[in-house]
Amino acid sequence: MQSMEKFMLPCYSKKLLGFDCPGCGLQRSLAFIFEGDFLAAWEMYPAIFSIIPLIGLYLATLFIEIKHANKIIITLVIISVSLIISNYISKFI
């Protein structure tokens, strides 16, 4: 992961305001997934496991028609937002 860290964007809200933003951990979580360390990815940013299928499904619907895609996308958005909010709140507890 050290080789990937030099390409990661810094969190400016953390640098300027001194606390994590709701997206903090997303890049590192994705790096952990590329390395195959799924548990570390979950611990870093749980919403990554709903965001990846969400993006994949959305991109797929641009090229092919998928039955009930809108319902699945809405469900994945709700799951992602719920995980992001709960993870963000847990950082302050």
27 lies in which domain range?
Answer: 21-92
Instruction: Answer whether residue 15 is part of any domain.
Output: no
Instruction: Answer whether residue 74 is part of any domain.
Output: yes
Tell me the pTM.
0.83
pLDDT at 20: 83
Q: Write down how long the chain is.
A: 93
pLDDT digits (tens, 9 = 90+) for 38-49: 999 999 999 999
Instruction: Answer whether residue 58 is part of any domain.
Output: yes
How far lies 54's CA from each of 20, 60, 73, 76, 78, in Å?
A: 24, 10, 6, 6, 11
**Does the pLDDT at position 6 exceed 80?**
no
| Tokens found for residue 11 | 């969190």
Q: How many domains does the chain have?
A: 1
Residues 6+ positions from 8 with CB-CB distance below 8 Å: 27, 28, 31
Instruction: Answer whether residue 3 is part of any domain.
Output: no
Instruction: Answer whether residue 88 is part of any domain.
Output: yes
pLDDT digits (tens, 9 = 90+) for 66-93: 999 999 999 999 999 999 999 999 988 8
